[in-house]
A = this chain, B = another copy of it.
Amino acid sequence: MVDFDTHPDRYRHWRLDIDGEVATVSLAVDEQGGLVPGYDLKMNSYDLGVDIELYDAAQRLRFEHPEVKAVVMTGGLDRMFCAGANIRMLAQSSHGWKVNFCKFTNETRNGIEDATEHSGQTWIAAVNGTAAGGGYELALACDEIVLIDDGSSTVSLPEVPLLGVLPGTGGLTRVVDKRHVRKDRADLFATRSEGYRGDTAVQWGLVDATVPKRDWGAEIARRAHAAAARSTRSGDRGVELTALQRREEGDTVSYPFVTATLDRDARRVDLTVEGPKEGPPADAAAAREQGVDYWPLAVTRALDDLVLRLRTNEPELGTWVIRTVGDTDLVLAYDQQLRSLEGDWFVNEVNHFYKRLLKRLDVTSRSLVAVIEPGSCFAGVLLELALACDRQYMLEGVYEDVDPDADPATIALTASNDGRFPMGNGLSRLASRFWGHDDDLELARKLLDERLDARAADEAGLVTMALDDLDLEDELRIVLEERASLSPDALTGMEANHRFVGPETLETKIFGRLTAWQNWIFVRPNASGPDGALRRYGSGQRGDYDYGRV
């Protein structure tokens, strides 16, 4: 059981130092601190446990440190920035573990870029020594890359020549699509295990600058303060991310406002999000005062933790059924506040955290089904959860044998659904839904802030099916049984293709094309077979390849 909770006091691999407007996160991996037995984390190589700490640090910097406007990422070992993912860990891991590990590290790197872009926290890679493979990919997620000029340290992507796999945590994509390295040079770079340094590294765009040792500290500080000076981030007192209140009882995991029930026989999770119990706080200061108890943050933290835990620990639970329960008016009041107070640093952070959570759902390899019933509160921000699902089933009328007097379910679109929580492809989930049908999108926009019953929601194209109680129960039973019977691989590929219609971005290219190729390569004998390059790494023997091109 992998846990994603941690705290700077318990970090084994990273150190987080705050000095006014500049934070420094230093990587000094504890070789004996691997998450699972079987490998030593030498040369600042990492496993999932190392990245969990980095994720925690990035989250805390955003919520607990409004004063921090630049973040320097550096290596805490001499002449070593980071050697990338630990190869023995990869070699001994199951295919599923490798893929899920890469997904999480990708999300963490995207989060670093998100902080730079949306929080006024600019990350700078101070590459104080070798940055190889995943180590260079970490640097690539930063806004600037500065390489020490010590006559030996290089940046490199040695995966293809040494390991027979890709630099799959964004590396290939960021080199050409973010750093705009010319593609024939990218080809040279990605096949040259020793990497590049010096003028070549700068001219090609692999790094922004090289700096002699004697100037190192001053130049990094100069860059950090220059980035900080450009930041519009404001706020003095942070919001502490206190320990999550998670309870696990049998097959139920619950948090304030979020409950999940694991049905192993049906290979399903039933997940319920509760609306707020009362109206939103009066203003931004009051919201900050509530801190982690501020309803949107509490829901986001709980869902984020739940998604990560289920993805990592419960791969066989292939379908997640999402419900909400609560008062739509109260949800809408919060929904309104998240927009009206977006200028506040804290509310801004909550908005972007929720955005990142939704993106995590989008790239989650589970079938997602929303069920909209009486008592639910799928409005605005919470409707976004339904729109993230592969299908939406809505009850028309009420469950006659449960509560014949209930109010039939309604949903409500708000401005929150119209671009405030973009998917990785840059589109809102609403625009993705109506891709190619601008007329339907325009019609939906006319319905903002209206309560739509099942018939209206169906007519507007916002739900997959609106059914009465007898039909819905039958349909859901059949659908969920059927879904659980299908090939999980085929479903994963299908969902990844359907969810991202329309345009592509750096982010979707990483999760789509790059990841899909990497997954294919991971599972091939040339990498992971008994004589494959990953398995033989460190043995002194190269991989024994089948040279047939596919």
Which A residues are within 8 Å of any B CB, using their own CB?
95-96, 99-100, 159-161, 163-166, 172-173, 176-177, 180, 182-188, 190-191, 267, 315-318, 365-366, 389-392, 432-437, 461, 464, 482-504, 509, 512-514, 516-521, 523-524, 526-527, 533, 542-543, 545-550
* Residues A527 and B487 in contact, CB atoms below 8 Å apart: yes
Find chain B residues with CB under 8 A from A547 CB.
267, 316, 318, 484, 488
Distance (whole angstroms) from the CB of A319 to the closest CB of chain B:
10
With A489-B520, A497-B172 given, is the CB distance from A391 to B187 under 8 Å? yes
* Residues A166 and B516 in contact, CB atoms below 8 Å apart: no
Q: List 10 A-B contacts (CB under 8 A).
A: A99-B550, A165-B487, A183-B433, A184-B391, A187-B390, A315-B548, A318-B549, A487-B527, A493-B520, A509-B512
Centre residue among A461, A491, A499 by max chain B CB count within 10 A:
A491
* Residues B550 and A435 in contact, CB atoms below 8 Å apart: no
Find chain B residues with CB under 8 A from A519 CB.
516, 520, 550
Find chain B residues with CB under 8 A from A315 CB.
548-550
Find chain B residues with CB under 8 A from A527 CB.
487, 489-490
With A177-B501, A183-B499 given, is the CB distance from A550 to B166 under 8 Å? no
* Residues B492 and A550 in contact, CB atoms below 8 Å apart: yes
* Residues A490 and B159 in contact, CB atoms below 8 Å apart: yes
Known: A177-B436, A488-B526, A512-B516. 4 other contacts (CB 8 A): A185-B464, A488-B550, A489-B520, A516-B520
Q: How many copies does the complex hold?
A: 2
Which residue from B182, B498, B514, B546 sits with its C-beta under 8 Å from A172? B498
Distance (whole angstroms) from the CB of A104 to the closest CB of chain B:
13
CB closest chain-B residue, reference A391: B184
* Residues A180 and B436 in contact, CB atoms below 8 Å apart: yes
Find chain B residues with CB under 8 A from A484 CB.
547
* Residues B549 and A492 in contact, CB atoms below 8 Å apart: yes
* Residues A524 and B526 in contact, CB atoms below 8 Å apart: no
Find chain B residues with CB under 8 A from A542 CB.
485
Find chain B residues with CB under 8 A from A495 CB.
187
> Whole-angstrom distance between the alpha carbons of A492 and B316 in the complex?
31
Find chain B residues with CB under 8 A from A267 CB.
547
* Residues B486 and A513 in contact, CB atoms below 8 Å apart: no
Find chain B residues with CB under 8 A from A173 CB.
497
Find chain B residues with CB under 8 A from A434 CB.
182
Centre residue among A159, A267, A519, A545 by max chain B CB count within 10 A:
A519
Which residue from B96, B191, B392, B512 sits with its C-beta under 8 Å from A548? B96
* Residues B512 and A493 in contact, CB atoms below 8 Å apart: no
> Whole-angstrom distance between the alpha carbons of A165 and B180 in the complex?
35
> Whole-angstrom distance between the alpha carbons of A159 and B487 in the complex?
10
Centre residue among A365, A497, A516, A524 by max chain B CB count within 10 A:
A497
* Residues B543 and A487 in contact, CB atoms below 8 Å apart: yes
* Residues B497 and A517 in contact, CB atoms below 8 Å apart: yes
With A497-B173, A512-B513, A520-B523 given, is the CB distance from A489 to B550 under 8 Å? yes
Which residue from B392, B494, B521, B550 sits with its C-beta under 8 Å from A190? B494
Which residue from B160, B188, B317, B366 sits with its C-beta under 8 Å from A491? B160
Find chain B residues with CB under 8 A from A485 CB.
542
Find chain B residues with CB under 8 A from A546 CB.
488
CB closest chain-B residue, reference A461: B182
> Whole-angstrom distance between the alpha carbons of A461 and B205 in the complex?
14
Find chain B residues with CB under 8 A from A392 CB.
184
Find chain B residues with CB under 8 A from A501 CB.
176-177, 183
CB closest chain-B residue, reference A180: B436
> Whole-angstrom distance between the alpha carbons of A339 and B464 in the complex?
50
> Whole-angstrom distance between the alpha carbons of A485 and B512 in the complex?
28
* Residues B184 and A490 in contact, CB atoms below 8 Å apart: no
Find chain B residues with CB under 8 A from A183 CB.
390, 432-433, 435, 498-499, 501
* Residues B550 and A100 in contact, CB atoms below 8 Å apart: yes
CB closest chain-B residue, reference A491: B160
Which residue from B366, B504, B514 sits with its C-beta under 8 Å from A497? B514
* Residues A497 and B166 in contact, CB atoms below 8 Å apart: yes
Centre residue among A316, A521, A545 by max chain B CB count within 10 A:
A521
> Whole-angstrom distance between the alpha carbons of A355 and B326 in the complex?
58
* Residues A493 and B187 in contact, CB atoms below 8 Å apart: no
Find chain B residues with CB under 8 A from A96 CB.
548-550
Distance (whole angstroms) from the CB of A360 to the closest CB of chain B:
15
> Whole-angstrom distance between the alpha carbons of A517 and B511 in the complex?
11
> Whole-angstrom distance between the alpha carbons of A497 and B506 in the complex?
12
Find chain B residues with CB under 8 A from A95 CB.
550
